[in-house]
Amino acid sequence: MSHRPGRHFLQIPGPTNVPDQVLRAIDNPTIDHRGPEFGALGLRVLGNLRRIFKTEGDVVIYPASGTGAWEAALVNTLSAGDRVLMCRTGWFATLWQEMAQRLGLMPQFVETDWRRGADVDALAAALAADKAHAIRAVCVVHNETSTGCTSRIAAVRAAMDALGHPALLMVDTISSLASIDYRHDEWGVDVTVAGSQKGLMLPPGLSFNAISAKAREAGKSAKLPRSYWDWGPMLAANATGYFPFTPSTNLLFGLDAALAMLLDEGLENVFARHDRHAEATRRAVSAWGLETQCAEPREYSSSLTAVRVPEGHSADALRTVILEKYNMSLGNGLGPLKDRVFRIGHLGDFSDLSLLGTLGGVEMGLRAAGIPHRRGGVQAAVDRLAGN
């Protein structure tokens, strides 16, 4: 491909644009992961990560994509044949359920129409019907990246508490951590799963579990085979900042820089920035006369917006035009939403001007691809961002 001036706009909902400070931190000589310098780095990133998860408990880091941390959450706490309750909020919830099945668990799925977050009433009804407490875990995707819907985790916790159900609560925050308000301890989550390449502004390659004392306790009798993912040796080595095997040293340099940036901006400000960009994006979508995939306003995602294309038009053709003409990548529709939606990622290292560039590319693309729409989406976003 010939040279394209300007930066590529990587507006998929992960991996996200990596800030220069993080790239420069990664671009340092690899150090001895058993040497004296490393322990201080390990202790610092593990300490700062707790502040991001809002937990006083343990956090572990795997050199793996988010999928690895899904597996770690399940194999460290459950046994073959255990029932787990899940909610099919979209494609990522489906993949987690398929993994649970392959590991020998017995997932029970609560369905949704893929246009809202987890159905708290249906989850509560399934738990209420489980008088024998055979369900060992409830697994929810906090921010369903395939649909742009955010589930109400505090409400799931409240429903479990109201029933006195002892199942573990596991939450996938891969596309919400450090973008959307999340509170591991306060919401009584037992295992939180996260990844590096979305709100944390890093390249892909790291993933995380935040772990409650109850989850550690469940691990003592859990019988699923585990070796590489075993929390035990990891936590033992982490106590002094080290790892039981070779960590992704240079990604940890990047993580150290990214955590410093997030804590310097202040998490509450980071969340407010994402909320504001998401709202400006929805104003643009509505001005275009298009519809968001999320149909439940209290569950609109602040990290991405999935937009439906009108019947008879192709979201993938639109994305191709935008990539070729404007050098911007948008997220594709996943599973049954293939070609029906495109997804605008507005998370991570992102500003008002990056949003306006992104929406400008979408609006020009809609015109170039011949998708029926009204003009003025970018203007609506400017009005929101600048105040009318």
Ligand X SMILES: *Cc1c(COP(=O)(O)O)cnc(C)c1O
* Identity of the residue, 66 or 247, whose beta carbon is nearer to ligand X in the bound complex: 66
Q: Which two tokens stand for residue 74?
A: 């399940």
Q: Which helix (H) or strand (E) holds 111?
A: strand 106-111
In the complex, least distance from residue 174 CB atom to ligand X, rounded to whole angstroms: 4
CA 232 to chain centre: 25
The count of residues interacting with ligand X (CB under 6 A) is 12
Please report whether residue 67 would count as binding ligand X according to CB under 6 A.
Answer: yes
* Identity of the residue, 72 or 234, whose beta carbon is nearer to ligand X in the bound complex: 72
In the complex, least distance from residue 203 CB atom to ligand X, rounded to whole angstroms: 11
310/60 Cα distance (integer angstroms): 44
Stretch 204-223 residues interacting with ligand X (CB under 6 A):
204
In the complex, least distance from residue 161 CB atom to ligand X, rounded to whole angstroms: 25
Contact 15, 198 (CB under 8 A): yes
In the complex, least distance from residue 366 CB atom to ligand X, rounded to whole angstroms: 25
Please report whether residue 365 would count as binding ligand X according to CB under 6 A.
Answer: no
100/110 Cα distance (integer angstroms): 15
Stretch that binds ligand X, among 21-29, 171-179, 183-191, 260-268 (CB under 6 A): 171-179
Q: Which helix (H) or strand (E) holds 286?
A: helix 267-288
Please report whether residue 14 would count as binding ligand X according to CB under 6 A.
Answer: yes
63/153 Cα distance (integer angstroms): 27
Contact 349, 382 (CB under 8 A): no
Alpha helical stretches, state H, 104-144: 120-129
379/306 Cα distance (integer angstroms): 20
Contact 101, 107 (CB under 8 A): yes
* Identity of the residue, 57 or 195, whose beta carbon is nearer to ligand X in the bound complex: 195
Please report whether residue 94 would count as binding ligand X according to CB under 6 A.
Answer: no
DSSP 271: H
* Identity of the residue, 92 or 182, whose beta carbon is nearer to ligand X in the bound complex: 92
Q: Which one of 42, 66, 247, 365 is in contact with ligand X (CB under 6 A)? A: 66
Stretch 136-155 residues interacting with ligand X (CB under 6 A):
141, 145
Q: Which one of 71, 82, 119, 172 is in contact with ligand X (CB under 6 A)? A: 172
Please report whether residue 82 would count as binding ligand X according to CB under 6 A.
Answer: no
118/110 Cα distance (integer angstroms): 8
Please report whether residue 107 would count as binding ligand X according to CB under 6 A.
Answer: no
Q: Which one of 19, 148, 195, 219 is in contact with ligand X (CB under 6 A)? A: 195
Q: Which one of 85, 174, 257, 287 is in contact with ligand X (CB under 6 A)? A: 174
Stretch that binds ligand X, among 59-67, 148-156, 220-228, 308-316 (CB under 6 A): 59-67
In the complex, least distance from residue 163 CB atom to ligand X, rounded to whole angstroms: 26
Please report whether residue 65 would count as binding ligand X according to CB under 6 A.
Answer: yes
Q: Which helix (H) or strand (E) holds 323?
A: helix 315-326
Output the residue with the shortest Cβ distance to ligand X. 66
With tokens 């099919």, the residue in question is 88
* Identity of the residue, 142 or 273, whose beta carbon is nearer to ligand X in the bound complex: 142
The region, left, alpha or beta by phi > 0 then psi within -120 to 50, assigned to residue 344 is beta
Contact 207, 194 (CB under 8 A): yes
387: exposed, middle or buried (C-beta count within 10 Å: 0-12, 13-18, 19+)?
exposed
Q: Which one of 53, 92, 231, 271 is in contact with ligand X (CB under 6 A)? A: 92
Q: Which residues bind ligand X (CB under 6 A)?
A: 14, 65-67, 92, 141, 145, 172, 174-175, 195, 204
